[in-house]
Amino acid sequence: MGSILVFLSILGLCFAQASPSAPNDHTAPASWDLSKPMNGFTFERVKAFSQPTTDKQAAQFSRISSIKGKTGSHNAVSSLVSSMLRTPPSHGQHTYQNISTAGTFSTQYAIQCGWDGVPVWLLLDTGSSDTWAVQKGFECHDAHGADHSESDCGFGNTHVKDFRLGPIDDLHFYLRYGSGEKVFGPMGYTDIACGGVKVSDQQAGLANYTYWHGNNFTVGILGLAYPSITSAYYGEIGQEATWNAIQYVPFLTNAITQGSIDPVFSVTLMKNSSDGIIGWGGLPPTHGQSDKYAATDLIVANLIGSAETSWRYSFYTIIPDGVKWGQTSDDTKYPYIVDTGTTMNYLPPPLAEAIAAAFQPRAVYLYQWGSYFAPCDSIPPSFAVVISGVEFWINPADMIYRDLIDPKTGYCAVAIASGGSGPYILGDVFLQNVVAVFDVGGAEMRFYSKT
């Protein structure tokens, strides 16, 4: 799976692409403290509004499909930029949302939902909150604002014409990503149903202006994160600021408050397949009993000094006990965002370098990609994330992408990347090896091993 280059960019506070530390520098600094700010963020534990949900099979579920390989040779990447897109999942200029970009080496997950009864394929993202679709007849532009044909933005079949009750007066959504991509347009209310979970009168956006690197399949995004990173604004487009931002209730929160599901959902990405499953209100139907299980607190990642995110919930973040690789372990505690919108695991640079060195032959950092590559026949080290004392091991076969090859060296991309100054990310390579339970009501995450 996966995107080759991914450094989280948040309001200019980017994951640094500094030179990786030497392998013998992996000794951890003092353990990270929950009260200690990191890269412009403060952290606090989420306050539960219910007891942790008892895990049971969900009554409703949605199948999600990998859309890797659905892009064509003349997609938005080749049409709108002069070279291969090599940008990370990145965060909105104003609201810090996360979405991975559909480049040649990316893997994204699509979910089919009903939009006022019309079936649409949307990108699934636990790191963003807004739900939007591109509007029929939208404008497609490049990074410089020049007009392009609709096909150059790489959306699928664009057939949503308008909101059935019309747009909300003087309100729009605006999203800008670190890659330069941006979408904006009117907001209104629509009925959205995904896998039997229906939300009536959901506030959503229709993008009528886009600069987008699409996959020629999906037509928008279904965001499953908290309300604090929604992106609605009063007033004129281009004048987005703190004073005219307004939060609204996104899809998942509405599904819970309207009683469509219990306050929990789960994600499992299937091995040796391009599919996955979301269990709405419980566990996916494919889940079997596992003797490796752990629960850990959800914490809030808040941007310092931002009225929009202070005290409110944002990204799904946990603090593991540490990591293990080979015969080595590191028990430094760092915050990690759990995110389906990111392919690799993004670790503190000294850890990433130490694990890269443990490949046999070792992986090397290629600056043109901003990521590690190793000879394609390299033997990966065993690697585990330790959560509440339980070791969750990643299948060695998942640690190297044998179909993602650097043309100059012939090396293959590996699944561990440098996350700069953090916060760090547990992405799809981790989620392939667990069933991840997002217990929003109980303010905790639970993991069941699949290995």
* E strand or H helix at 80: helix 76-80
d(CA 408, CA 75): 23
Q: SS3 helix, strand, coil % of the chain, rounded to 5?
A: 10, 40, 50
Q: What are phi and psi of 354, to 5 degrees?
A: -65, -40
Angle, vertex CA 321, rays to CA 318 and CA 322, nearest 5:
105
Establish how many alpha carbons lie within 13 A of residue 309's alpha carbon, considering only the half-sphere containing its beta carbon. Answer: 24
Question: Is the separation of the CB atoms in 140 and 212 below 8 Å?
Answer: yes
d(CA 362, CA 384): 18
* E strand or H helix at 279: strand 275-280
Q: What are phi and psi of 78, to 5 degrees?
A: -80, -25
Question: Is the separation of the CB atoms in 172 and 148 below 8 Å?
Answer: no
Q: Which amino acid is at 157?
A: N
Angle, vertex CA 174, rays to CA 169 and CA 179, nearest 5:
170
Q: Which amino acid is at 92?
A: G
Q: Which two tokens stand for residue 323?
A: 């990591």
Question: Is the separation of the CB atoms in 274 and 433 below 8 Å?
Answer: no
Annotation says 147 is catalytic: no
Given the residues 55, 130, 262, 339, select the one marked as catalytic: 339
3-class state of residue 396 by DSSP: helix
d(CA 320, CA 351): 14
**Facing residues of 425 across strands?**
337, 346
Question: Is the separation of the CB atoms in 357 and 349 below 8 Å?
Answer: no
Annotation says 125 is catalytic: yes
3-class state of residue 150 by DSSP: helix
Token pair 């690697």 is at which residue? 383
d(CA 128, CA 92): 9
Q: What are phi and psi of 61, to 5 degrees?
A: -150, 160
* E strand or H helix at 253: helix 251-257
Given the residues 125, 262, 321, 428, select the one marked as catalytic: 125
Catalytic sites, residue numbers: 125, 339
